[in-house]
Structure 1
Amino acid sequence: MLGVHQRAVTFRREACPDGRRLGHSRQDEARVKTPDQFKTEMIGLLPRLRRFALTLARSGPDADDLVQDACAAALQKWHLYDPAQPLDRWMFRIIRNLWISEIRKRQVRHGEGEVPAEEATELQTGDADEALAARQVRGKVSALPAELSRPLMLVCAEGYSYREVSELLEIPVGTVMSRIHRARKLLVSVLGHEEGIAT
């Protein structure tokens, strides 16, 4: 039985198997020159784009729609992408903006008026044993409130810095740090409680 901290380390190791920061992948270092090159780069990011969309939508079908719409928008505007910046961050911004627009549309349809961007993003809210432990931890992270799970996943699974997450989610760095601290405390508490029951 893996300990709480070992399981958390396993989760991060599986997400970043070769030790690179996923926020700055080799794919992002390539310089996009043609639409085909851009499309190839984007396709390589699809699993990560869906994970990010899931942290927003909390629904598989909604996340899939979000990624599809984001990819369509990105392909139409690929010439606006600055290759000096990581492609994943550009795509994440598109996904986030589309989700904010979708939430605002839903609010208007329900007669609730528009909501601020910050509030909109928080609505709706190794070996086989190690792989299983990592999946279990991911499941527990996903079960956390959206405002806590999203920054934790971006930092621990995607390798972003607090400042990068602050820019991506458009919230203060202090808020990012506070939410990640709360998320980790909750996660350790849940995992520790489960281990206590199992022993």
Structure 2
Amino acid sequence: MRPAQESIDISRDLVSLLPRLRRFALTLTRDGLQADDLVQTVCERATGRQPVWNGHGRLEDALYTLARTLRDETLGRKRMAADLQGGQEPSGETGYAGAVQQMIISMPEGLASAFLLVAVEHRTYRDAGRILGLAPDVIATKLATARARLASMASDMTERRA
């Protein structure tokens, strides 16, 4: 067991979680600049005076949940418009990896986040459900739908290249 002063040092671990937190924020916002703003707000809240994480469980779960909550508050639980991309490519992403990222974030709200948490971050349905505020069976359904959409998009992309 770690001493109490070591167990709750969010700023020490936050830096290593930034790429994963940004990737998650991108699935929530579908826009690179909005994702960056969301990550910044999450970091500010996480390192602020009121603790976001009590030292139990995974820090990233608390950060993902905070990101989702902040996004929901910002949107007032409204659905986002279908095309927030405006033709912008997320900065720094090109080629195949950029195309895959575009396919993921172009999925409807909720599908991309569920896919990222389960398929990319290797979270259980229960963990992903807790982060997204959904039941595990809803996560399973969203994941199946997301995988089917990605397979369809990938085959469409392959057919266009041929």
The two structures have a TM-score, normalised by structure 2, of 0.78
Amino acid at match of 2:68: R
Number of equivalenced pairs:
151
Q: 1:102 to 1:132 in 2, by over 3 A?
A: same
The within-5 A match list for 1:30-69 is 33=5, 37-69=9-41
* Offset of residue 101 of structure 1: 1.6
Q: Secondary structure at the match of 1:69?
A: helix
The equivalent residue for 1:170 is 133
Work out the CA distance in 1 between the residues paired with 2:80 and 2:73: 12
Work out the CA distance in 1 between the residues paired with 2:81 and 2:120: 21
Q: 1:147 to 1:40 in 2, by over 3 A?
A: same
1:179 aligns with 2:151: no
Amino acid at match of 1:160: R
Pick from 81, 103, 126 the counterpart of residue 140 of structure 1.
103
Identity of aligned residues (%): 26
* Offset of residue 134 of structure 1: 4.2
Work out the CA distance in 2 between the residues paired with 1:170 and 1:51: 18
Question: Is residue 52–residue 62 contact of structure 2 (8 Å, CA) maintained in 1?
Answer: no
Amino acid at match of 1:103: L
1:188 aligns with 2:151: yes
Work out the CA distance in 1 between the residues paired with 2:8 and 2:61: 19
Q: 1:124 to 1:88 in 2, by over 3 A?
A: farther
Q: 1:137 to 1:62 in 2, by over 3 A?
A: closer
Higher helix proportion (structure 1 or 2): 1
Q: Considering only aligned residues, what root-mean-square deviation do their CA atoms show, in Å?
A: 2.8
* Offset of residue 45 of structure 1: 0.8
* Offset of residue 194 of structure 1: 2.6
* Offset of residue 32 of structure 1: 7.1
- Greater Cα radius of gyration, structure 1 or 2: 1
Work out the CA distance in 1 between the residues paired with 2:42 and 2:4: 18
Amino acid at match of 1:65: D
Task: Name which structure has the greater RCO, CA cutoff 8 Å, separation 6+.
Answer: 1
